[in-house]
Amino acid sequence: MRIKQLDYIVKIVELGSVNEAAKHLFITQPSLSNAVKELEQEMGIQIFQRTQKGMVLTTEGTEFLAYARQILEQVDLLEEKYKGTDKRRRLFSVSAQHYAFAVHAFVQLIRSYEENEYEFTFRETQTNNIIEDVSTFHSELGILYLNAFNEKVIRKLLKEKQLVFHPLFIAAPHVFVSKKNPLVGKKSVTLADLEDFPYLSFEQGRVNSFHFSEEILSTLYHKKSIRVSDRATLFNFLIGLDGYTISSGVLSRELNDENIVALPLEVDETMELGWIHPIQKPLSPMAEEYLRYLKEHIIDYGFTIIE
């Protein structure tokens, strides 16, 4: 087994295609395919399943990839320390539900990174995509929430994907509304108060189960309901239509529109927000740094971190 072969495996997974990986690695597609086959034969496992849609990681391949990434990270550290080589282009990726605090922490991470070259990815995406991204190592961490309604289903899926949920903090549900909304000024609002206002939620694509909803109380009927795919559109509708959405109540003062406010919602519910990660894969130094910023931001908004 050679370090270069591990690089090949990681690149194929990152780009999702042998052809694209070969282009980025400046080798021919047959040479890359042969290198993968040789590694599989040497290790005695099948890393990829060859399908008409391309190369798909097998269960063994997924586990192998976790170890390969760990080895490559250690090689980087050794080369930087003893060979005096320039640091490699850093790669780091997070997938999350639509939370401004998660974005804010990512911004702080990038600001703190002093190198001239990097490649960071932040995916605000659907709940099922978050789980898939982390389980296939497209993202190192995922940010989502659990509550009494969705916990059993989500934890079952995480177990199947060999992922673990680490709680960060408990939040009481709030509604986000425009500061011009007639409800602003109330200390808290009830579901009855919200009946005549448009309800905004994030679409969940093909996996549109209530258990994958980003908003609690997802099974409730709403006279006016609008689904959107991104936070900017949702905020525009909050302002333009006097709509509302249900979330954790954590608004980033730096990144959120100053026209949006959070009002406590009078329901007997809580949200446990946290991060997911592969069970057997240790966190990279960059992931540790991101979590540090994430926790600092959460504490700054008055929440207690769950240890």
Name the fold adopted by 3-83: Arc Repressor Mutant, subunit A (1.10.10)
**Residue 291's closest CA among 70, 154, 130, 108?**
108
Using CA atoms, how far apart are residues 291 and 286, in angstroms rounded to an integer?
9
Of 60, 51, 54, nearest to 12 (Cα)?
Answer: 54
pLDDT tens digits, 283-299: 888 899 999 999 998 89
Over the stretch 129-187, which tens digit does the pLDDT of each residue have? 999 889 888 889 999 999 998 999 999 999 999 999 999 999 998 999 998 999 998 99
> In the beta sheet, which residues pair with residue 164?
277
Q: Give the pLDDT of residue 109.
A: 92
Tokens linked to 243: 């709509």
What three-state secondary structure class fits 90? strand
The better pLDDT of the pair 304, 15 is held by 304
Residue with tokens 């694509």: 205
Domains 90-168+273-301 and 173-269 share a fold: yes
Of the listed ranges 11-15, 94-98, 126-130, the one predicted with least confidence? 11-15
CA separation for the pair 307, 300 (Å, rounded)? 16
pLDDT of residue 279: 86
The average pLDDT across 240-263 equals 79
* Chain centre distance of CA 70: 20
- pLDDT in the model for residue 73: 73
Cβ-contact 142, 255 below 8 angstroms:
no
Domain ranges of the chain: 3-83, 90-168+273-301, 173-269
Q: Is 1 helix (H, G, I), strand (E, B) or coil?
A: coil
Please tell me the chain's helix, strand, coil percentages from 3-state DSSP, rounded to the nearest 5.
Answer: 40, 25, 35
Residue 173, both tokens: 């549900």
Confidence bin at 83 (pLDDT 50/70/90): low
Q: Decide which of 3.30.420.80, 3.40.190.10, 3.40.50.300, 3.40.718.10 is the CATH code for 173-269.
A: 3.40.190.10
The CATH architecture of the domain made up of 90-168+273-301 is 3-Layer(aba) Sandwich (3.40)
Q: Is 40 a residue whose pLDDT tops 60? A: yes
pLDDT over 80 (residue 102): yes
pLDDT for res 248: 84
Among candidate residues 167, 177, 302, 285, the one with its CA nearest the CA of residue 185: 177
For residues 276 and 78, the model is more confident at: 276
Q: What is the pLDDT of residue 264?
A: 92
